[in-house]
C-alpha cells in the first residue's frame, strides 16, 4: 500500500468513526427530539419543523418536535440542559433563552455557559419599530423628540420583561437618552393588539407579526432593527442609519446538552448548513419573516457568549429585575 493509499484509508476510518456514539452504533440510529421552549406557531416552532423535516430526510430517522413552553422559555431550556449528551435531544434557542435569560434571572436551574453547547445559528428575525396607523408620530426622529419633550409619557409594549421587544427598547433608550414607559404583556399578540388599538404608543415588533398590518396601513413602520434595510420594506430605514450603534434582531439557533461529542455536533452542523442553503428552505422561511443564517459550531458559541455580556450590561444599566 502506498503512502497516499494509507493516508486515504486513515481518513476514511476517521470519517466513519466521527459518526459513532457507541461501539457499532452510527449516529443517528434512533429518533432525534428537538425541544422548542416556546409555544407552537411562532418563528421558533416554524424553524424546528422545517429543519426537522430536512434532517429526517437526510438521516433516515424521525425528528420529533416537542414544545415545552413556560417561564419565558426557561422550562424547556432546563430540560435540554439536563438531557443526555448523546445527540438525541436538541433544542431551539432564541437569544431570549440562550443569552438574555441567563443574565436576567438570578436563579436558574441551569448554567447556560456550562450546561449547554451550540450546534449552529439558524436564522434571524428582524423587528420593526411600529406605531398605530393614526398616530401623529411619523418617523424615528418624531419618537425621539416626543420622548425628550415628554419624559416617561411615551409608552411601549413588549411580550414581557426580558423579551426581545423589551431589550430593543432598553437599547433604544440608552442610545438616545430618552425615557419611555414599559407596558409588558404575556406574549406578543396581546401587546400588538393594544398598539393596533392605540392604547400603547409604540412597539418593537417581529416582522412576521407586524408586516401584514403595516401593509394594510393599520400600523406605520418607522425603522427596522437590523443593520440594513429589508427587501420586504425597502423604504423603511434601518434604525442604525440614525443611531449607528443600534442592532437588536432576534436570532435563533440550535443547542445541545454540554458534553455532546464534537463529532455529533459537527455532523448536525454540516446538515443544518446544507439545509439552510437550500432555496426551497430559505423561501419557506422568508415567507414567515425568517432570514436563514447558518454558522459554525464555534461561531454560535461565541455569539451566545458575547450576547450574554452585551445584554448583561443592558440589564444592569436599566436595573431590570424579574425575580
Range list of β-strands (E), the chain: 20-22, 25-26, 32-36, 63-67, 89-94, 116-125, 127-132, 155-158, 181-184, 202-206, 219-224, 250-257, 291-292
Does 266 have pLDDT greater than 50?
Answer: yes
pLDDT of residue 14: 44
Percent of residues in the chain assigned helix, strand, coil, to nearest 5 = 45, 20, 35
Q: What would the grid cell of residue 282 be?
A: 430559505
- For the chain, the structural domain boundaries read 30-125+249-318, 127-241
Q: Which of 281, 263, 257, 266 is nearest to 51 (CA)?
A: 281
285: nearest Cα among 129, 149, 124? 124
User: Which tens digits make up the pLDDT trace of 186-217?
Assistant: 888 899 999 999 999 999 999 989 999 999 99
What is the pLDDT at residue 323? 65
CATH number of 127-241: 3.40.190.10, 3.90.640.10, 3.40.50.720, 3.20.20.70?
Answer: 3.40.190.10
- Residue 9 pLDDT level (bands cut at 50, 70, 90): very low
Residues in Cβ contact with 301 at an 8 Å cutoff, skipping those fewer than 6 apart: 117, 118
How would you write 87-99 as a 3-class SS string? Answer: CCEEEEEEHHHHH
Task: Using alpha carbons, select from 199, 197, 154, 150 the residue that is nearest to residue 172.
Answer: 154
Polymer length of the chain? 323
pLDDT for residue 318:
84
pLDDT tens, position by position, 110-141: 999 999 999 999 999 999 999 999 999 999 99
Maximum C-alpha span of the chain:
82
Position 19 pLDDT exceeds 80 = no
Report the mean per-residue pLDDT for the chain.
91
**Distance of alpha carbon 291 from alpha carbon 314, whole angstroms:** 25
Q: Which CATH superfamily does the domain covering 30-125+249-318 fall into?
A: Bordetella uptake gene, domain 1 (3.40.190.150)
- pLDDT at res. 24: 54
- pLDDT at residue number 41: 86
Tell me if 121 sits within 8 A of 303, measured CB to CB: yes
Residue 52, φ and ψ in degrees, nearest 5? -60, -40
Amino acid at each position: 500500500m502506498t503512502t497516499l493509499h494509507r493516508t486515504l484509508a486513515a481518513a476514511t476510518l476517521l470519517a466513519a468513526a466521527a459518526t459513532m456514539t457507541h461501539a457499532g452504533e452510527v449516529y443517528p440510529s434512533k429518533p432525534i427530539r428537538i425541544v422548542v421552549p416556546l409555544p407552537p406557531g411562532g418563528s421558533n416552532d416554524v424553524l424546528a419543523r422545517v429543519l426537522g423535516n430536512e434532517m429526517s430526510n437526510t438521516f433516515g430517522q424521525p425528528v420529533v418536535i416537542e414544545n415545552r413552553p413556560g417561564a419565558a422559555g426557561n422550562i424547556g431550556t432546563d430540560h435540554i440542559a439536563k438531557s443526555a449528551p448523546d445527540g438525541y435531544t436538541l433544542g431551539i434557542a432564541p437569544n431570549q433563552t440562550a443569552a438574555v435569560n441567563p443574565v436576567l434571572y438570578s436563579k436558574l436551574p441551569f448554567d447556560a455557559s456550562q450546561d449547554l453547547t451550540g450546534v449552529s445559528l439558524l436564522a434571524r428575525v428582524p423587528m420593526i419599530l411600529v406605531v398605530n396607523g393614526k398616530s401623529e408620530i411619523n418617523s424615528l426622529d418624531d419618537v425621539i423628540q416626543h420622548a425628550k419633550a415628554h419624559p416617561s409619557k411615551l409608552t411601549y409594549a413588549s411580550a414581557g420583561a426580558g423579551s426581545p421587544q423589551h431589550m430593543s427598547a432598553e437599547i433604544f433608550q440608552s442610545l438616545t437618552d430618552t425615557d419611555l414607559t414599559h407596558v409588558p404583556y404575556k406574549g406578543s399578540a396581546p401587546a400588538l393588539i393594544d398598539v393596533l388599538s392605540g392604547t400603547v404608543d409604540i412597539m418593537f415588533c417581529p416582522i412576521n407579526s407586524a408586516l401584514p398590518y403595516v401593509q394594510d396601513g393599520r400600523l406605520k413602520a418607522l425603522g427596522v432593527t437590523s443593520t440594513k434595510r429589508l427587501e420586504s420594506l425597502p423604504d423603511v430605514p434601518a434604525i442604525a442609519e440614525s443611531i449607528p450603534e443600534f442592532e437588536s434582531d432576534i436570532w435563533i439557533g440550535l443547542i445541545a446538552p454540554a458534553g455532546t461529542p464534537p463529532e455529533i455536533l459537527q455532523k448536525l452542523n454540516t446538515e443544518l448548513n446544507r439545509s439552510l442553503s437550500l432555496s426551497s428552505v430559505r423561501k419557506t422561511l422568508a415567507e414567515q419573516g425568517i432570514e436563514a443564517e447558518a454558522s459554525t459550531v464555534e461561531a454560535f458559541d461565541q455569539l451566545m457568549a458575547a450576547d450574554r455580556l452585551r445584554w448583561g450590561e443592558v440589564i444592569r444599566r436599566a436595573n431590570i429585575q424579574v425575580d
